[in-house]
Structure 1
Amino acid sequence: MSVSTPPRPVTVAAPPARPASRPMRRLPRFGPADREVLWLYVLTRIGIWITAGAVSRLFPADARSRRPASLLSPWQQWDWWHYLHIAQDGYFPDGAGPWTVGWDNREAFFPGFPLTLRAVHVIVPHWAAAAALISFVAGGIAVLALARIARRQLRDLEGGRRTAVFFLLSPCAVFLAAGYTESLFLALALPAWLAAQRGNWPAAAVLTCLACSVRVTGLFLAAALALHFVRTARDRAPWRSAPWLVLPALAPALHGWFLAARTGDWMAWQHAQERGWYRDFHSPWEAWSNTWDAAFHHTQPTGYALMSQVELSAMLAGVALLVVLVRRRRLPEALYTALTLWALGTSYWYTSIPRSTLLWWPLWIALAGWSLRRPRVRAAYLYVVAPFGVVVAVTFLTGRWAG
């Protein structure tokens, strides 16, 4: 009997492996750390609105009034009226302008916030409520981005939360809720910086361009992004994104062109600041001297003298931050801080430096990192520095100071 051999197994060649594709960039997930930061943000918003409600009743415009003012009335102060008038009537209503007696110099303000206000007003009819909504949403975006930048830099989840705490309880935090530009600017600038950290240069450039439409400070951010790009571009591939870095200049260029078409002056916004806010150029030591005189030589009422003292303190804090950034070789952030200090420190005297500390995101990250190494820093900040924020809030909400 013959025995048949079993058939040989047939091998089937496996299909060739597909070439590995480049990993897709995914948006970061919204995790527990983000929820914690947003919870802190909502709590501080409740606190600041309680403060505003108390101010409207304790310090009414008419001391004999028997009816409390609107909850929104304390927020309608100072620069808010310029943004409102631009949103309502544009920059040059009925042919008025710098050539008109009593002109309010509104062209000093960039169009990003007024345009956003006008758009939201379509949905929210009350102008002040529309501004409050913008600041609330933008502030939430800003604090989330700040916490993510801090977690990335400090490599610590608690570092992100502490950065948010220091930021939200900062002395000038009231301006994050006001109808001002700080929240909207940060809602664009901080995600732009985060995108740059991740190498997403098109997104960083677009966001920075939008930030430039809100504040001229966006140009300082653009300079920092350019330096960061040069320092991190290790091979030829990233340089394909280099043309994106020119985009942020588009917003101020368009604004200058718009003003030049109506005034003949490409720098009309700067000249309006010089006329209305003494922002003509002076040497840094002259600006310091003039502010020092106003603060300590009894040439101003005590309230204005205190404001000048706070301005000087904010400038010293900015210089200290700059030194720390340079020593740690965080040169892009140092460039951003240096340009900001130069712009604010070369006027006749210091104006709005305390409010600008909100825009110095390296400051809040540095404080958080310091507090992780020295726990007493956090306690000192919460018990000594943070209460000063209530003083600033009451001062602003009663129309005594613009920050």
Structure 2
Amino acid sequence: MSTSGTRVASRRPGRPSRRRAQTTADARLVVQAWFGTRLVIFFIAAWVMVYDHRSASDVFGNWDVVHYLGIAANGYAEANSIAFFPGWPLLVRLAATTGVPALVVGILLALVASGFATAALYRLGGAPAAIAWLLAPTAVFTVVPYTEAVFCAAAFWAWERATAKQWGAAAVLAAVAASVRVSGVFLIAALAVLALTQAGAVRDRGRRLLWLAIPVAVVAAYLGYLYVVTGSWTAWLDAQEAGWARGFAWPWESLKHTLAVLEPGAYADHPEWHWVFLAEIISMAVGLLVTIVCLVRRRWGEATWVGLQVVAFGTSYWFMSVNRAVLLWFPLWTELGRLVPTKGRPPAWRAALIGVVVVVALVVQAAWAWLFYTGRWAS
């Protein structure tokens, strides 16, 4: 009996040790994936600068970066610039007071925020989920001065804290997310559903909902500001429609307008539009599938988070920027993470398949970065 007891005693301390070793290995792999994907995206930028003789501002300062940096420097001075929420330009402006150029500040902040978003996904879904997000086709938008990285960092951690029933922290993080982009409205709605469906007494549910008054106040403050400036409660919607053709359309009309881009000869001067808008349709299908999966699994808050965005994109003039919004859908990445076994050594065929998927993902990611850096339409 003493021998058996000794054997059991010798095993027990080893189990936590093995778990710690596995956790360390997983965390190291996620960090390596973060560095590796950032390296690929920056390599494409360097290649474009050398091959096309472009400056760093020409490469990193395309599309909405111009608007964000313009707001950071001059406020809402340009027409329709109010379509962009103030949180990100304000953060860039504050950080640029250090004397570092605003473009560089934006890139550095995006890099740091992408790291925080990765850490949150690691907490939510483990290493596979975090790595899947890092390999997303449109990951270039988590490196350049766009809102995706900082929003994902705030939103993912808000959800992580809410699931841990730390609703005060979740509300503050949701408020940060809501200051950055309109997607914060959908986050508030999803958190409200989570607050109501999370286990606890009625009093607890009411307390959780009260915490969400903080991010609601942030959105209300911006809408109030726009009303004072423009005299219209629909100023934000009007700016979206005037600047980016995001007026209301029935879902079948939205799909029809998107399919029109794919017709032979359409937008012949922009050949990349064909496959980018095809990807928009695929992204919409993915969003719908993720929503259904969440509903089947009775994850009502997550279904609300993705489903509301699918509805919003599906009732716009056409499917636009859905490819970027996929980065925000943490339920997608956690579901993908579930497909990768984390225990034991995978068979050779599965390891080879994962390797092929990673290589293909990096190639697509590099191609998408090239689109953005060369000023082509990249969603």
In 1, Cα distance between equivalents of 2:351 and 2:286: 20
1:345 maps to: 314
Q: Does 1:279 align with 2:246?
A: yes
2:14 maps to: none
In 1, Cα distance between equivalents of 2:325 and 2:357: 19
Residue 226 (structure 1) aligned to one of 186, 192, 201: 192
Deviation at 1:329, TM superposition (A): 1.6
Note the 1:84-103 alignment, pairs <5 A.
Answer: 84-92=69-77
Number of residues of Structure 1 aligned to a counterpart in Structure 2 = 347
In 2, Cα distance between equivalents of 1:313 and 1:356: 12
Residue 43 (structure 1) aligned to one of 14, 36, 40: 36
User: Moved runs in structure 1, 4+ residues, more than 6 A?
Assistant: 373-377
Instruction: Tell me if structure 1 keeps the 8 A contact 2:251–2:314.
Output: yes
Query: Are the structure 2 counterparts of residues 218 and 377 from structure 1 closer, same or farther at C-alpha, using a change threshold of 3 Å?
Result: farther
Is 33-42 or 285-294 further displaced after alignment? 33-42
Residue 138 (structure 1) aligned to one of 113, 116, 141: 113
In 1, Cα distance between equivalents of 2:361 and 2:25: 28
Q: Does 1:258 align with 2:233?
A: no
Aligned partner of residue 199 in structure 1, secondary structure: coil
2:15 maps to: none
Deviation at 1:377, TM superposition (A): 6.3
2:367 maps to: 391
What per-residue deviation string (whole Å, max 9, x for no partner) do you get for residues 170-215 of structure 1? 1101111011000010111011000001001111111111111101
What per-residue deviation string (whole Å, max 9, x for no partner) do you get for residues 298-348 of structure 1? 322232222221211111111121222112221111111111111112111
1:109 maps to: 84
2:277 maps to: 308
1:378 maps to: 354
Query: Are the structure 2 counterparts of residues 105 and 242 from structure 1 closer, same or farther at C-alpha, using a change threshold of 3 Å?
Result: closer
2:328 maps to: 359
- The residue identity in structure 1 corresponding to 2:91 is T
1:18 maps to: none
Note the 1:5-84 alignment, pairs <5 A.
Answer: 33-60=26-53, 69-84=54-69
Residue 120 (structure 1) aligned to one of 95, 113, 129: 95
2:237 maps to: 270
Instruction: Tell me if structure 2 keeps the 8 A contact 1:72–1:129.
Output: no
What per-residue deviation string (whole Å, max 9, x for no partner) do you get for residues 147-181 of structure 1? 1111xxxxxxxxx2211221111110111101100
In 1, Cα distance between equivalents of 2:66 and 2:242: 18
In 1, Cα distance between equivalents of 2:277 and 2:103: 29
In 2, Cα distance between equivalents of 1:265 and 1:284: 27
- The residue identity in structure 2 corresponding to 1:344 is F
Deviation at 1:382, TM superposition (A): 1.6
- Calculate the aligned-residue CA RMSD, in Å: 1.9
In 2, Cα distance between equivalents of 1:372 and 1:124: 47
Identity %: 36
Structure 1: gaps (5+ residues): 1-29, 61-68, 93-102, 151-159
What per-residue deviation string (whole Å, max 9, x for no partner) do you get for residues 59-115 of structure 1? 23xxxxxxxx444531100000111111101113xxxxxxxxxx5411100001000
- The residue identity in structure 2 corresponding to 1:218 is G
Query: Are the structure 2 counterparts of residues 88 and 375 from structure 1 closer, same or farther at C-alpha, using a change threshold of 3 Å?
Result: same
2:155 maps to: 189
2:142 maps to: 176
1:9 maps to: none
1:65 maps to: none
Higher relative contact order (CA 8 A, sep 6+): 2
Instruction: Tell me if structure 1 keeps the 8 A contact 2:40–2:366.
Output: no
Aligned partner of residue 350 in structure 1, secondary structure: coil
Deviation at 1:50, TM superposition (A): 1.5
Structure 2: gaps (5+ residues): 1-22, 343-349
- The residue identity in structure 1 corresponding to 2:189 is A
* TM-score normalised to structure 1 length: 0.82
Q: Does 1:165 align with 2:131?
A: yes
Instruction: Tell me if structure 1 keeps the 8 A contact 2:60–2:373.
Output: yes
In 2, Cα distance between equivalents of 1:124 and 1:387: 36
* TM-score normalised to structure 2 length: 0.87
Instruction: Tell me if structure 1 keeps the 8 A contact 2:368–2:378.
Output: no
In 1, Cα distance between equivalents of 2:79 and 2:362: 34
Larger Rg computed on CA atoms: 1
Bigger helix share: 2
In 2, Cα distance between equivalents of 1:178 and 1:122: 19
